[in-house]
Chains A and B, each alone.
Chain A
Amino acid sequence: TQLLEQSPQFLSIQEGENLTVYCNSSSVFSSLQWYRQEPGEGPVLLVTVVTGGEVKKLKRLTFQFGDARKDSSLHITAAQTGDTGLYLCAGASTSGTYKYIFGTGTRLKVLA
């Protein structure tokens, strides 16, 4: 069974601090997506990474896909209160049977 483990599970930081969230698996993924979910809403797609080693930037957010396409990270620079939410990584299986799985989630709270 392919699993996506995220760490840390919870994170509470002050506004202005930097942070990194990790998404790890023992399996290879053809692509990985990152989503952010706010209370009472569905997840919102942030980015897709496809190529091993790929780095994508979205304003203060930097996403990286591991060289072996088994892991990914999300780095937030100078966090703002608006970054608060549940961050989820998700990936498409490379095994014969198609399956799309979500990570365990990282709940981020940015304090003013």
Chain B
Amino acid sequence: KAGVTQTPRYLIKTRGQQVTLSCSPISGHRSVSWYQQTPGQGLQFLFEYFSETQRNKGNFPGRFSGRQFSNSRSEMNVSTLELGDSALYLCASSLIGSSYEQYFGPGTRLTVT
């Protein structure tokens, strides 16, 4: 079975721009979660989607949004980028409708200049 894939792997954007990251979960997994990882804050939960609905949301500003499509693929959007948004963005999928036992993609490294 193919693992979780994320595109692009690396991205450089300028402050004020917006960015869209993509995630394809493991086949059959309907839950997709997004995380931000930084050296200072560690791994922080952004949101979780299940069956095209946002089920849970972390403590991030509204500039961070996401969606899930009928084939379970998910996208994450960050608008009005700030320098502090530079991070590794990780997507994880899980088999059932919860975030237990998550299977992560390789991440998208976003650098905001």
A41 touching B100, Cβ below 8 Å: no
- In chain B between 86 and 106, which residues have their CB closer than 8 angstroms to a CB of chain A? 90, 92, 98-106
A105 to B39, CA, bound (A): 10
A44 to B104, CA, bound (A): 7
Most buried by B among A48, A98, A104: A98
A88 touching B106, Cβ below 8 Å: no
Closest chain B residue to A43, Cβ basis? B104
Question: How many residues of chain A have a CB within 8 Å of chain B?
Answer: 22
A24 to B110, CA, bound (A): 31
Most buried by A among B4, B58, B99: B99
Cβ-neighbour of B101 out of A42, A45, A97, A98 (below 8 A):
A45
A41 touching B107, Cβ below 8 Å: yes
A42 touching B107, Cβ below 8 Å: yes
- In chain A between 71 and 90, which residues have their CB closer than 8 angstroms to a CB of chain B? 88, 90
Query: In the complex, which residues of chain A have a beta carbon less than 8 angstroms from the beta carbon of B44?
Result: 102
Interface SS of chain A: helix, strand, loop or mixed?
Answer: strand
A68 close to chain B: CB less than 8 A: no
Contacts from B to A (Cβ < 8 Å): 4, 33, 35, 42-45, 48, 55-56, 58, 90, 92, 98-107
A92 in contact with B43 given A42-B105, A99-B56 (CB within 8 Å) = no
Query: In the complex, which residues of chain B have a beta carbon less than 8 angstroms from the beta carbon of A41?
Result: 106-107
B99 touching A92, Cβ below 8 Å: yes
A40 to B108, CA, bound (A): 9
Cβ-neighbour of A100 out of B90, B99, B106 (below 8 A):
B99
A45 to B95, CA, bound (A): 13
Closest chain B residue to A102, Cβ basis? B43
The 4 closest A-B CB pairs, nearest first, are A42-B104, A100-B99, A102-B43, A43-B104
A90 to B102, CA, bound (A): 10
What are 26 A-to-B residue pairs whose CB atoms are below 8 Å?
A33-B100, A33-B101, A40-B106, A42-B90, A42-B92, A42-B106, A43-B43, A43-B90, A43-B102, A44-B104, A45-B101, A45-B102, A48-B100, A48-B101, A90-B43, A92-B98, A92-B99, A98-B55, A98-B98, A99-B45, A99-B56, A99-B58, A100-B48, A100-B56, A103-B42, A104-B42
